[in-house]
């Protein structure tokens, strides 16, 4: 069975500082990896996804992710955050070659950007 | 223009009532989902339909009954609502299979049972 762990429930950071949101997963099979963002009172929006190939993935809004297969981690990074990045961030996995696109989510990390 | 739309956005109702949430997507996807987000913001899949056929049915009380009249619509009917059903319910859609396609989410329906 797969599980996804987001190590920080909340990450406070000052504007223009770099940020890293951590995510680890465990799975007995290969998985695809996703980061979604949820702005207040909104639905989820895909930030980036890792399917295969280069372990460094660039997403929207200046976010990027580095996949580390040996450590089963895919941490989300941004070199300089803005106030508008304040949101809940969810990492998720789905089965490689699975019959469905069922997403298994982590518990979320609230990124709180302060001026 | 809305890709995945849910109605209503807010739903307040009393215990014991029956209610429905509707979802429609105009992305041409063939698979739709219902996810539940609890008060701690944890998201968990409930159901998935592919071309009107149920393909995922997680451990959900049978008071919850999804219905898909066509591949662009997926509704969720809840009987005998309980306080613990209070949550945000998200509809999503994607193309079928492989695990590698992006799911698009609706804005959510915040259900409050009083």
Query: Does position A38 have pLDDT exceeding 90, yes or no?
Result: yes
Query: Does position B75 have pLDDT exceeding 90, yes or no?
Result: yes
Summarize the confidence of residues B16-31 as an average pLDDT.
Answer: 96
Sheet with B73-78, strands from edge to edge, namely B4-7, B19-25, B73-78, B64-70
Give one word for B3, left, alpha or beta, with left for phi > 0 and alpha for psi -120 to 50: alpha
3-state secondary structure of B109: strand
CB atoms within 10 A of CB B41: 16
Residues 6+ apart with CB under 8 A from B85: B78, B111, B113
Q: Do the chains contact at A103 and B103, CB–CB below 8 Å?
A: yes
Q: Does A87 touch chain B (CB under 8 A)?
A: no
The pLDDT tens digits for A105-114 are 999 999 999 9
Range of A16-30, A59-73, B62-76 with top mean pLDDT: B62-76
Domain B4-113 superfamily per CATH: Immunoglobulins (2.60.40.10)
Gap between the Cα atoms of B68 and A40, Å rounded: 29
Q: Residue B47's pLDDT band (boundaries 50, 70, 90)? A: very high
* Residue A10, preceding peptide bond in cis (omega within 30° of 0): no
Q: Residue B69's pLDDT band (boundaries 50, 70, 90)? A: very high
Q: Which domains does chain A have, with CATH numbers?
A: 3-114 (2.60.40.10)
The pLDDT tens digits for A48-104 are 988 776 678 888 889 988 887 777 888 999 999 999 999 999 999 987 766 677 899
Gap between the Cα atoms of B25 and B2, Å rounded: 8
Q: Do the chains contact at A105 and B108, CB–CB below 8 Å?
A: no
Summarize the confidence of residues B54-69 as an average pLDDT.
Answer: 90
Res B76: pLDDT: 97
Mark out chain B residues that contact chain A at CB-CB < 8 A: 4, 31, 33, 35, 40-45, 48, 50, 55-56, 90, 92, 94-108
- What are the C-alpha distances in Å from B58 to residues A18, A54, B111? 38, 34, 20
């Amino acid at each position: 069975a797969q599980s996804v762990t987001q190590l920080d429930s909340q990450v406070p950071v000052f504007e223009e500082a770099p940020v890293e949101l951590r995510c680890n997963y465990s799975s007995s099979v290969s998985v695809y990896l996703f980061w979604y963002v949820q702005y207040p009172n909104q639905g989820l929006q895909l930030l980036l996804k890792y399917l295969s190939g280069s372990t460094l993935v660039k997403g929207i809004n200046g976010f990027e992710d580095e996949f580390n297969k040996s450590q089963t981690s895919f941490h989300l990074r941004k070199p300089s955050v803005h106030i508008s990045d304040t949101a809940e961030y969810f990492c998720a996995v789905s089965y490689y070659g699975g019959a469905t696109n069922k997403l298994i989510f982590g518990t979320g990390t609230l990124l709180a950007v302060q001026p | 223009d809305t890709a995945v739309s849910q109605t209503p956005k807010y739903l307040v109702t009393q215990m014991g009532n029956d209610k429905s949430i509707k979802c429609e997507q105009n992305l041409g996807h063939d698979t739709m989902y219902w996810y539940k987000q609890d008060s701690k913001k944890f998201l968990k899949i409930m159901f998935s339909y592919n071309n009107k056929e149920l393909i995922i049915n997680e451990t959900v009380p049978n008071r919850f009954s999804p219905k898909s009249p066509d591949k662009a619509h997926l509704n969720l009917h809840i009987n005998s609502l309980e306080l613990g059903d209070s949550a945000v319910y998200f509809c999503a859609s994607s193309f079928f299979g492989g695990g590698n396609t992006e799911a698009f989410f609706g804005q959510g329906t915040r259900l409050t049972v009083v």
